[in-house]
Amino acid sequence: MTKTLFIDGAAGTTGLEIADRMAGRNEFTLVTLPDDKRKDAAAKREARTAADFVILCLPDDAAQEAGAMTTPATTRIIDASTAHRVDPHWAYGFPELSGAQRDRVAGARLVSNPGCYPTGFLGLVAPLVAAGLIPSDWPYSVNAVSGYSGGGKALIERFEGRDGSGGADIGFRAYGLDLHHKHIPEMQIHAGLALPPIFSPAVVPAFRGMMVEVPLPISVMPGSDSPDEMRACLSEHYAASPVVHVHNEMAPSELLILNTQKPTDRLDLYVMGSPKGDQVRLIAMLDNLGKGASGAAVQSLNIMAGLDEVSGLRL
């Protein structure tokens, strides 16, 4: 039976990418609003109430308000904002974290979409902590770079020089320098860590793409295991996943984020060990608009609807 889907915030980057992944599919009928009603609160509330599934592509405050509104018990919601990612009443939409997580997403009425940076970090760290291969009480560092599309309309216009700021000359933009980024609680809680990680995000002049790295000085980390064991653990953990790919090679010559990066909903994971095996670089490569946002939302939607989880995805 065809289900109805309303994308609240369909004109934004995430909403447009979700709609693109839903194009040509016959399992869902998209509920749309005319342009003059896109910001009309009553019209949006009516559309949310009428739909079987709603994906919120809104700023945090608006998503918080929308999520709190009374809707029919049959309406199921996916929130792509940060608002509910550590809320225990919302299932966390990273089904690969565990079999239990996949089941929770499948049966949930409320699902929060993971952040793009946390997707890379958690994909690498959470299974290793759960397996006891790295400690849960280590002060982890996260070094990450993203394409500028992750910053929304304002940052896109800045990097493309359309806001008059001269931003098109930016080669590298470090931010989150107050060590208080909104992704940190999400990383800590869903990885089961005792300490918040030190998160060092940056933006590069590529529209899409993301690299997330966690360096491990395993020679001084209590109870940590070898790079080979870490790689084997991740390979086993994601063996059944059509989305997450663990690479077997010890060290490729380079990893690139291209200015011509093509959309993808994959998550690629690497474990790089030093010749002595005393240092490790855990690296995740993903599309910040794919598995880091829209692709993850569509994957959760598929699972919630009992469909093939990769329907509409680009793998």
| C-alpha–C-alpha distance, residues 250 and 238, integer Å | 18
CB 112 within 8 A of CB 252: no
Please say if 57 is a catalytic residue.
no
Among 5, 31, 116, 187, the active-site one is: 116
Which residues are annotated as catalytic?
116
